[in-house]
Chain A
Amino acid sequence: MKTIAEINEKIKKGAAVVVTAEEMIDIVNEKGTKAAAETVDVVTTGTFGPMCSSGMFLNLGHSKPRIKLGGGTCLLNGVPCYTGLAAVDVYVGATAIPDDDPRNKVYPGGFSYGGGHVIEDFVAGKDLRLSARAYGTDCYPRKSIETWISKKSVNEITMVNPRNAYQNYAAATNSTERVLHTYMGSLLPRKGNVNYSTSGELSPLLNDPHLRTIGVGTRVFLAGAQGFVSWRGTQFNTTKPRNELGVPESNAATLMLTGDVKEMSADYLRAAYFEKYGVTLYLGIGIPIPVLDEDMARSVSVRNRDIPVLVCDYGVEGHPAIARTNYEVLRSGKVTIEGKSVRTASLSSLAKAREIAQLLKEKVASGAFPLAPPVQGLPEHSSVAGLAIREKAK
């Protein structure tokens, strides 16, 4: 038994043993979970994949004369921001697109530039065009403003992502007769391929399936910056069946993450667009997991073959699961679905996930990334409701 405080003390002395989740598998294979729990102090994880529910708050600073954007409109490089806040606070969401984007009204849409690109351009230090309109008040008389801003000119830029780092997102296929263009990539007709999005045995929430060490206040690697778990992620779900290792069989826990965009790196954050779907943001996330005891050693040595995954049919409303497999099979490049061998491909980058876990390992070992114990755990009971369509108010 170790505590996070004891592990932090060892880190300070330069005596902590920090390994990546992939390295931990070999250590446990060799020494067993008991010895591994005694030897290893921290296991680092990583993931780099598309996370639509991401965005950032910006405080633009006050102009002379002042303008109140609240209730007005604000565009950054043509991308609309949410303005329903105080005078110069706005929020840019990753999936926002300009009003004049053809969308799918003019198939196959545009999506060449959106909120994800605005975020990426800020991180890269570029100048962005600010174009805003307001109604004018006695205290904020200005009614319009056109200028250029960058991460150097504005006050805070705080990333606040309502849902990141999904614990075990289901894989996707397509039973229809045409190509489906989805957030799970291009899905070829007649179950022509299966796409999945995870770093599997390296994925943060799959290494601590019961979230014993991850909660509100946990320090995380967020796109190169030190961020924090600020709350449970949206659609947080504890009702999914778990296997004997406690790993949920499909989409379960999620995290709300916060971090300083000015400290982020373009190496771990990238705007993207999925054909005929829209704009999103690829984000790199890593979480160091303290190996408190033998149970934790078992959790952080989870292998791809221990992680169950459902394959869902995006050709049918509700995306029902039509097959059950594991990540070792998906990583092999082929999976058998209804007797037919189907090609598999990943949407998230394992190469980048490994880079993040490795970098985080070095940061934790050097003392630059101390472990932060959660100040509050994430919910033990939480389910997800659908959206009912009602004619009348109750």
Chain B
Amino acid sequence: MKEKYILEYSSAVANDPVIYTLVRRFDIKVNILRAEISPGEEGSMLVELDGEDGSLADCRDYLASIKVRLAPLSSSLTLRDDACVHCGSCTGVCFSGCLTMGPPDWKLAVDREKCIACGLCATACPFGLISLKFGE
């Protein structure tokens, strides 16, 4: 199965080949969708992990053991949907297909599994209703 996570790691592991270990030791297919490293060497990486259920669990344990925090991607996008007017501005820049609008009701639909935390929606929303947590 496939799972998307944001890996948040401290400067202590910034120089370790973490992804290499995931591939070699746990036989995980890793798709890196976005990665950032700050001047202080803390980093964030958006990854899709694809593997057997058991090996995914082992892989999560390993990451926890080296103090890499796994944040589920669905927690990174915050939308104040009570104030949304369904204008559609955010859908024009959302290439991953997370934010969509269409018939019959033309109201904003959010599929958090598809978000790649690119952040374009946060600046496209004319009402400032969207925020994204990635690498901060």
Contact = CB atoms under 8 A, between A and B. Distances in A.
A333 B128 CA distance: 24
Given A346-B101, A351-B107, A270 B127 contact: yes
Contact of B92 (A181, A195, A280, A350): A195
A345 B91 contact: yes
A352 B123 contact: no
A108 to B, nearest CB: 8
Contacts of B105: 351
Q: Which of A347, A348, A351 has the most CB of B within 10 A?
A: A351
Interface in B107-134: 107, 120, 123-124, 126-128
A181 B124 CA distance: 9
Interface stretch (B31-39, B45-53, B54-62, B81-89): B81-89
B40 interface: no
B86 A185 contact: no
A48 B102 CA distance: 17
A349 B92 contact: no
B120 A186 contact: yes
Interface size class of A (residues with CB under 8 A): 20 to 34
A65 B91 CA distance: 54
B63 interface: no
B106 interface: yes
A273 interface: yes
B85 A282 contact: yes
B126 A343 contact: no
Interface in A168-203: 181, 185-186, 188, 193-195
A344 interface: yes
B116 to A, nearest CB: 15
User: Which of A344, A349, A354 has most B Cβ within 10 Å?
Assistant: A349
A349 B123 contact: no
A40 B123 CA distance: 44
B93 interface: yes
B100 to A, nearest CB: 8
A282 B102 contact: no
B26 to A, nearest CB: 37
B118 to A, nearest CB: 11
Contacts of A193: 92-93
A49 B85 CA distance: 10
Nearest to B105: A351
Interface of B: 85-89, 91-93, 95, 101-103, 105-107, 120, 123-124, 126-128
27 contacts: A181-B123, A185-B124, A185-B126, A186-B120, A188-B92, A195-B89, A195-B92, A270-B85, A270-B127, A271-B127, A273-B126, A275-B123, A275-B124, A282-B87, A331-B103, A333-B102, A343-B92, A343-B95, A344-B92, A345-B88, A345-B89, A347-B126, A348-B87, A349-B85, A349-B86, A349-B87, A350-B88
Given A112-B128, A195-B89, A345-B88, 18 more contacts: A49-B87, A181-B123, A186-B89, A186-B92, A188-B93, A194-B92, A270-B127, A272-B127, A275-B123, A343-B92, A345-B92, A346-B88, A346-B101, A347-B87, A347-B92, A349-B86, A349-B88, A349-B106
